[in-house]
């Protein structure tokens, strides 16, 4: 049953850690990844990336633009519509020290991402602070052009929150929305393993063709391979598309440092799913294929949220903890369509057009998949929660797949090649 805070109306779908899953050693998900195998730049054409196909344990390869030749009929492909923000803001102190503020999520009364990005000055955000020791206090300022308007952007550290800081941003032309300010003043937050500064090409190529809603600090990289022609070819073959939004947080780059995964804390990420997608999931009679790990986590989170809403539909804010899905008796779990019907009923009761929630779900070996039947994804870092997710779907076959990719000159990580995993 869900725990809740009656004052805030906040419902948490908690759960106890499964001992077997929690005892998994992260060392079992290590593999050698030479730096030269990491793609530092995107290919000239998105859909020309290599595609590794794993079906029922058999490996083949192709090019991404022929993806439709390898998908099952009537597949429902679900993309993530999040858009990467220019989350890295650089300030230079009068003495010359460079301070980087990495914007993670809004704080205060405005927790809705779209409202937060449209907010005028001032705003409060949770940030990572680079070169923090050189910023003892005081106000940082930077002069930027927003369009043709000169603006002075200021930042003050309000307090520390563990490894993060609460930062108050204000700017001299307060009616300019924060999203427009970030777009002009900030930089694309490239993954740290690329070891290079952002360039002009990253402004477009580190966004997917699905991107609509500001909020991510990392791209949902499986979507980077899609182009308009590929999408049209897939639709012509009878494939269907649906959309979700999960705003990717900095936790996606956070390595698992504990010996066992049970000691690793997943960071919560904000997800938004409209009624139309929930209806599609409820009524679709073919396999659901997630475009990326973020779409997979969103789709699976929907199921467990629907399961819990069967018991209580009175709450307005929802959070799914990382361990809730584990330990349920499969014989007593409801069908996916039933779970989605509970969400639709909840939305009708509260007169909402979309479900808004946060999820910290961990998909690891032993996870009971309820929605997703296949995954389009990139190659992931050793000892990462994303590699755990891949292993949860295809088992130890991930080792053979990754060894094949390493031996056949596939390009790895965010700007790298793609995979289609069908267990």
Q: Is 143 exposed, middle or buried (0-12, 13-18, 19+ CB in 10 A)?
A: exposed
Within 96-154, where are the H helices? 113-117
| Statement: residue 253 has pLDDT above 50 | yes
pLDDT 10s digits, 219-238: 999 999 999 999 999 999 99
> Could you report the per-residue pLDDT of 186-200, keeping only the tens digit for each?
999 999 899 999 999
Same domain, 290 and 312: yes
Dihedral pair phi/psi, residue 315, rounded to 5°: -95, 150
Q: Indicate whether 12 pLDDT > 70.
A: no
Same-domain check for residues 182 and 228? no
CATH no. for residue 233? 3.40.1780.10
pLDDT value at position 110? 54
Residue 8 pLDDT more than 60? no
Q: What percent of the chain has pLDDT over 90?
A: 81
Whether 229 and 287 map to the same domain: the answer is: yes
**Residues 6 or more apart whose Cβ sits within 8 Å of residue 388:** 24, 29, 261, 362, 363, 364, 365
> Domain total for the chain?
2
345 and 237 in one domain? yes
273 pLDDT above the threshold of 90: yes
Nearest Cα residue to 325 out of 13, 4, 11, 19? 13
What pLDDT does 162 receive?
81
Pair 62, 70: CB distance under 8 Å? yes
Could you tell me the pTM of the whole model? Answer: 0.92
46 & 171 share domain:
no
Give the containing element (helix H, strand E) for 20.
Answer: helix 19-22
Residue 149 has pLDDT above 60, yes or no: yes
For the chain, the helix, strand and coil percentages under 3-state DSSP, each to the nearest 5 = 30, 30, 40
pLDDT, mean of residues 245-260:
85
Which residues have a Cβ under 8 Å from the Cβ of 25 and sit 6 or more positions away? 259, 260, 261
The stretch 301-327 carries a mean pLDDT of 90
Higher pLDDT, residue 10 or 11: 11
Task: Give the whole-angstrom CA distance, residue 90 versus residue 330.
Answer: 50
Last residue within a domain, chosen from 158, 186, 214? 186
Q: Is residue 375 pLDDT above 90, yes or no?
A: yes
Q: Domain check: are 143 and 244 in the same one? A: no
Which of 135-139, 150-154, 202-206, 316-320 shows the lowest mean pLDDT across its residues? 316-320
- Report how far residue 303's alpha carbon sits from residue 297's, in angstroms, rounded to the nearest whole number: 10
Average pLDDT value for residue range 237-261: 89
Domain that holds residue 312: 3-83+206-422
Picking from 39, 417, 24, 17, the residue whose alpha carbon sits closest to that of residue 256 is: 24
Give me the count of residues in the chain: 423
SS3 assignment, position 301:
helix
| C-alpha count within 13 angstroms, C-beta hemisphere, residue 417 | 24
Please check whether residue 193 lies inside any domain of the structure.
no
Residue 11 has pLDDT above 60, yes or no: no
Query: Are both 346 and 210 inside the same structural domain?
Result: yes
- pLDDT of amino acid 4: 46
Mean pLDDT in residue range 153-160: 95
Q: Are residues 163 and 251 in the same domain?
A: no
Q: Name the pLDDT band for 19 (thresholds 50, 70, 90).
A: confident
For residue range 90-128, list pLDDT tens digits in order: 999 988 899 999 998 888 765 578 788 889 999 999 999
Which whole number is the average pLDDT over 255-270? 91
| CA 174/CA 400 separation, integer angstroms | 55
Exposed, middle or buried, 44 (CB in 10 Å: 0-12/13-18/19+)?
exposed
Same domain as 254, residue 142: no
Would residue 54 count as lying in a domain?
yes
Residue 198 lies in a domain: no
Residues 27 and 134 in one domain: no
Among 141-145, 251-255, 374-378, the minimum mean pLDDT is found in 251-255
- Whether 45 and 104 map to the same domain: the answer is no
For residues 76 and 98, state if they share a domain. no
Q: Return the pLDDT at 327.
A: 81
Q: What is the pLDDT of residue 113?
A: 80
């Amino acid at each position: 049953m869900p725990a809740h805070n009656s004052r805030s109306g906040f419902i948490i779908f908690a759960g106890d850690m499964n001992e077997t899953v929690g005892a998994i050693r992260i060392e079992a998900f290590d593999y050698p990844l030479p730096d030269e195998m990491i793609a530092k730049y995107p290919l000239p054409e998105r859909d020309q990336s290599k595609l590794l196909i794993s079906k029922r344990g058999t490996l083949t390869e192709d090019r991404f633009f022929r993806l439709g030749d390898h998908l099952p009929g009537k597949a429902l492909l679900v993309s993530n519509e999040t858009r990467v923000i220019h989350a890295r803001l650089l300030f230079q102190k009068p003495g010359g020290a460079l301070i980087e503020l990495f914007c993670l999520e809004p704080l205060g009364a405005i927790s809705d991402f779209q409202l937060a990005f449209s907010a005028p000055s001032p705003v409060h955000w949770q940030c990572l602070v680079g070169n923090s020791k050189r910023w003892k206090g005081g106000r940082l300022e930077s002069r930027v052009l927003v369009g043709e308007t000169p603006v002075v952007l200021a930042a003050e550290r309000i307090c520390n929150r563990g490894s993060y800081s609460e930062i108050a941003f204000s700017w001299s032309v307060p009616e300019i929305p924060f999203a427009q300010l970030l777009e002009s003043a900030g930089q694309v937050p490239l993954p740290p393993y690329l070891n290079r500064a952002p360039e002009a090409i990253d402004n477009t190529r580190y966004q997917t063709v699905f991107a609509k809603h500001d909020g991510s600090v990392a791209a949902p990289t499986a979507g980077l391979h899609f182009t308009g022609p590929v999408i049209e070819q897939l639709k012509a073959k009878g494939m269907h598309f649906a959309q979700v939004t999960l705003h990717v947080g900095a936790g996606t780059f956070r390595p698992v440092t504990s010996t066992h995964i049970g000691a690793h804390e997943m960071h919560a990420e904000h997800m938004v799913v409209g009624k139309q997608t929930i209806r599609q999931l409820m009524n679709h009679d073919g396999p659901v294929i997630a475009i990326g790990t973020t779409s997979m986590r969103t789709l699976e989170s929907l199921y467990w949220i629907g399961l819990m809403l069967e018991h209580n539909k009175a709450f307005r804010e929802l959070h799914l903890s990382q361990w809730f899905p584990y330990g349920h008796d499969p014989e007593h779990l409801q069908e996916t369509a039933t779970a989605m019907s509970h969400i639709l009923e909840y939305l009708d009761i509260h007169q909402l057009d979309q479900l808004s929630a946060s999820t910290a779900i961990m998909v690891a070996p032993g996870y009971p998949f309820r929605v997703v039947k296949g995954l389009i994804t990139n190659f992931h870092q050793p000892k990462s929660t994303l590699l755990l997710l891949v292993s949860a779907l295809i088992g130890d076959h991930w080792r053979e797949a990754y060894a094949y990719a390493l031996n056949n000159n596939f390009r790895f990580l965010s700007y790298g090649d793609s995979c289609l995993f069908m267990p």
